[in-house]
Amino acid sequence: MTAAFFILITLEKKTMKTFAALAVAAALLGTSFPAVADGVLTANYGGQITETADGWRIEFAVRDGGVRAWVRDHGDKPVAATGKATLLVGGKKLDVPLKADGEVLTADAAVTTADKVAAILSLSVNGKPVSARFGQEALVAPSLSAQASAGKAAFEQVCAACHGTALRGSDAAPPLLHKFYQPGSGHGDDVILAAATNGAKSHMWKFGDMPKPEGLKPGQEKDVLAYIRAMQAANGFAGTTAAPMAMPMDHSGHMKH
Ligand code: HEC
């Protein structure tokens, strides 16, 4: 802590010119970060997010049995919206009305988190038409090592109720097939093992805290980690260093190197 304060004071002397400097200070001090910083949009519920020409932030997520959408303004405040989702899934076109349920728009549809889905949201926000497109690739199920196979069984028993059998999240928890959790991200193996053992305080999303998981035997968290890594690698989250990182760290305050 002393070191962190020292750095903060040093930065203040330099008037904290850059966002990066502020980010480092915030990370060291453990303060929380704004949801949107430096032009990087952050989804609240693990979905895909886009900003329309009118400045509406639209987040979209596929769930098992339906879709979700959230509309927020520039200041990240929820905005009322109505409309429908047009989904292209398995060669079928589905038009489903979106129903407002508090901050979230929901629709039931014959779709799962493992499907390839193309979606167009046709919304009315403040009486004006707004549309946005999203897409999800079909889940790739890789062949698994013995350890990852054991991890899959344990994951499905203990973690999937919240993180989904496709590891793409649910209304209760974020997707683990996500760049925030890929190798080389701010959430390394140690963070995943710690979550599997003890749960986690809410700091990335608006799902709330992750309780300590019930039912893993000692050692099984390593199997679960192997499974998560295998699924990430097969689904575009291998976390190679080939792609340049947009920011030196994610917004959680976990440091990246
Ligand atoms: C009761 C629901 C629930 C269950 C069961 C659950 N999680 Fe979570 N998990 C969450 C939520 C909610 C978060 C988001 C916390 C946040 O905002 O960062 C989370 C976050 C995580 C994270 C990120 C942790 C961090 O420090 O950023 C990992 C990794 C994770 N879960 C793995 C697992 C694994 C592995 C299992 C099974 C052993 C599991 N979870 C079971 C709800 C759950």
Out of 104, 136, 168, pick the residue that ends a domain: 136
Q: Output the pLDDT for position 26.
A: 43
Give the pLDDT means over successive 10-residue stretches in the chain (257 positions). Answer: 41 42 43 46 92 94 98 93 97 97 96 98 95 97 98 98 98 96 93 97 95 96 98 93 47 43
Out of 102, 117, 136, pick the residue that ends a domain: 136
Instruction: For a ligand 1 pocket test, name from 178, 182, 210 the mutation site with the most ligand atoms within 8 angstroms of its C-beta.
Output: 210
Q: Output the pLDDT for position 39.
A: 52
Supply the DSSP string of 155-201, one letter for each residue.
HHHHTHHHH-TTSS--SSS--SSSGGGSTTSSS-HHHHHHHHHH-B-
User: What is the total count of domains within the chain?
Assistant: 3
Pairing of strands 92-101, 57-63: unpaired
In a domain, 41, yes or no: no
Instruction: For a ligand 1 pocket test, name from 152, 156, 162, 179 the mutation site with the most ligand atoms within 8 angstroms of its C-beta.
Output: 162
E strands, the chain, are 48-51, 57-63, 66-72, 81-89, 92-101, 104-108, 117-125, 128-136
User: For ligand 1, what atom is nearest to the CA of residue 224?
Assistant: 35
Q: Output the pLDDT for position 42.
A: 79
Quick check: CB of 200 below 6 Å from ligand 1? yes
In a domain, 1, yes or no: yes
What is the CA(157)–ligand 1 centre distance, in A? 14
Token pair listed for 111: 């779709």
